[in-house]
């Protein structure tokens, strides 16, 4: 899949599990794997601690 930030390629390991954090090798952005139907999708990783709201 591709990084939403920079369109770089993010590799998801074959043994990846839901909730695993993957990092874009190009821009360093972190994403959390979420299961979507039969494949993984990514969402921006939660920052540590409470969320800051919108």
Q: What angle do CA 39, 20, 44 make, to 5 degrees?
A: 85
Number of residues that bind Zn ion (CB under 5 A): 8
- Which residue from 6, 20, 32, 45 is in contact with Zn ion, where contact means CB under 5 A? 6
Is 12 a binding residue for Zn ion by CB under 5 A? The answer is no
Cβ proximity to Zn ion: between 3 and 33 the closer is 3
User: Interface with Zn ion includes 8 (CB under 5 A)?
Assistant: yes
Task: Look at residues 49, 48, 40 and name the one whose alpha carbon lies nearest to residue 22.
Answer: 40
Q: How far apart are CA 15 and CA 7, in angstroms?
A: 23
Contacting residues toward Zn ion, per CB under 5 A: 3, 5-6, 8, 24, 26-27, 29
């Amino acid at each position: 899949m591709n990084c939403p930030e920079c369109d770089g390629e993010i590799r998801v390991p074959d043994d990846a599990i839901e909730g695993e954090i993957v990092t874009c090798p190009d821009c360093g952005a972190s994403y959390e794997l979420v299961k979507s139907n039969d494949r993984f999708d990514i969402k921006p990783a939660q920052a540590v601690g409470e969320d800051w709201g919108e």
